[in-house]
Amino acid sequence: MAEENIVKNEEVVKPIILKDKDTGEPKYVLEFDRATVKAAERAGFKIDTVVDMSENDDSGLKMAIEPLEDLFFHSFKKHQPFMNKNATNKILYEDLCGMSTAMIARLVQLYMQPFETLIQTDDTPKNATLAIEL
């Protein structure tokens, strides 16, 4: 069963679509799947550094730049696997002029979504072919 076909009780978080401002055409789709999350973690990315920052109510002085750049970079890998960090940094700083807190929050939600395929929210999951005895 493909990961995309798994529907949970949770609401599915829609990907972020970056569009050309002049034509309105989609240029990039930002989202994660299990493979891109694993690759990000293998590369040393830790989501807790971003989650800690996004829950901080201060003016942002405590935010570290690198984890935000890395979250943005890894969000490209599902649909644009050959993007490099220089290209995503150019998009982040020159084309977007940074990220809003709402965009950061959505990227965190998108990053966390693949974990929902591992965690059962019901005692009796639908379509399970094995029973669990604890």
φ and ψ at residue 23, rounded to 5 degrees: -100, -20
What are the residues whose beta carbons fall under 8 Å from the beta carbon of 46, sequence distance 6 or more?
A: 67
Distance CA 18, CA 62 (A): 27
Q: Is 129 exposed, middle or buried (0-12, 13-18, 19+ CB in 10 A)?
A: exposed
Domain ranges of the chain: 11-117
pLDDT at 117: 74
pTM: 0.78
pLDDT at 10: 54
The series of mean pLDDT values per 10 residues for the chain, 134 residues long, is 44 93 95 96 92 55 78 97 97 95 93 83 67 74
